[in-house]
Amino acid sequence: MTTELLPITRVPRTGLPSHAVVVGDPARAAEVAGLLDDAKEVSHHREYRTFTGTWKGTPLVVSSHGVGGPGAILLFQELADAGVRTILRLGTAGAIRTGILDGDLVIADAAVRDDGVTQQLLPPEYPAFCAPEAVLALRRAAVEAGAPYHRGVVWTRAAFQPGFVTLPAAAYTRAGIAAIEMELSALLVLASTRGLVAGGVLVIDGANADELVDEEATGGYNPHREVVADGVALGSRVALDAVHLLANESTESPETIK
């Protein structure tokens, strides 16, 4: 019997594990999947590339969602339709808060909904928040891995390149926003409306936020550096360990994920 495939991502409607790590780049999905046991590619359509495998005995999905919230939320919706109940985003971001360095991890508590898609789904007052258990699992995994990490609210912004509109970067800096990225709030809103557990861990690939959001400066941005690659490698293991913790938390005491 032919397995039914979902229309946008072409992932199978049934048979996927219930926990997933999602990334932007299809090549990064393959790299993360390369860490798994019994990894198998199950679909690759457009920017959506999906693998299954196991990490420390936990079955999981690794999938790519491309760049930007409007496309990414299509993956999140179809993973949910396929039975995935936990989704952690492993991404890259630009640091805003002082003291967050290239290669560091930012574990999100919540996100500013400037993603370009969820405003068309829900009123802007609806929050984009990470599941507390996801935050705590990521924190525990980062501590156990010895990874430099920070926690805080992140700014999900739809446009990557600066335009002609003055951005509220100064206000967000004063408010203590940790970092800026492009997809997390779309995941968080979708997850909370679908009853999913979701969170995000971001690797800093630019520690000068003024250059990332200032209208006249983008030429210095270079994410293709060893310090970023090292951070992504460490962040990949942190995300996978956190999924393993979440998958097995029902068998642990409440104090073990903290």
Amino acid at 149: Y
**188 in any annotated domain:** yes
Pairing state of beta strands 179-181 and 149-157? parallel
**61 in any annotated domain:** yes
Neighbours of 138 (CB within 10 A): 32
Q: pLDDT grade, residue 123 (50/70/90)? A: very high
What DSSP character marks residue 250?
G
Range of the domain at 69: 19-244
Domain count for the chain = 1
Q: Are the C-beta atoms of residues 95 and 179 closer than 8 Å to each other?
A: yes
Of the listed ranges 49-53, 54-58, 162-166, the one predicted with least confidence: 162-166
**175 in any annotated domain:** yes
Q: What is the CATH number of the domain that holds 175?
A: 3.40.50.1580
Of the listed ranges 159-163, 223-227, 228-232, the one predicted with least confidence: 159-163
Nearest of 110, 117, 125 to residue 200 by alpha carbon: 110
**24 in any annotated domain:** yes
132 pLDDT higher than 60: yes
Name the one residue in this structure whose structure tokens are 């393993």.
244
114 pLDDT higher than 80: yes
pLDDT of residue 251: 39
105: which strand partners? 149, 203
Average pLDDT over residues 126-153: 98
173 pLDDT higher than 70: yes
**25 in any annotated domain:** yes
Q: How far apart are CA 183 and CA 88, in angstroms?
A: 12
**180 in any annotated domain:** yes
**2 in any annotated domain:** no
Q: pLDDT grade, residue 29 (50/70/90)? A: very high
Pairing state of beta strands 19-23 and 58-64? parallel
**211 in any annotated domain:** yes
Q: Are the C-beta atoms of residues 191 and 82 closer than 8 Å to each other?
A: no
Residue 250: burial class (beta carbons within 10 Å; 0-12, 13-18, 19+): exposed
pLDDT of residue 3: 80
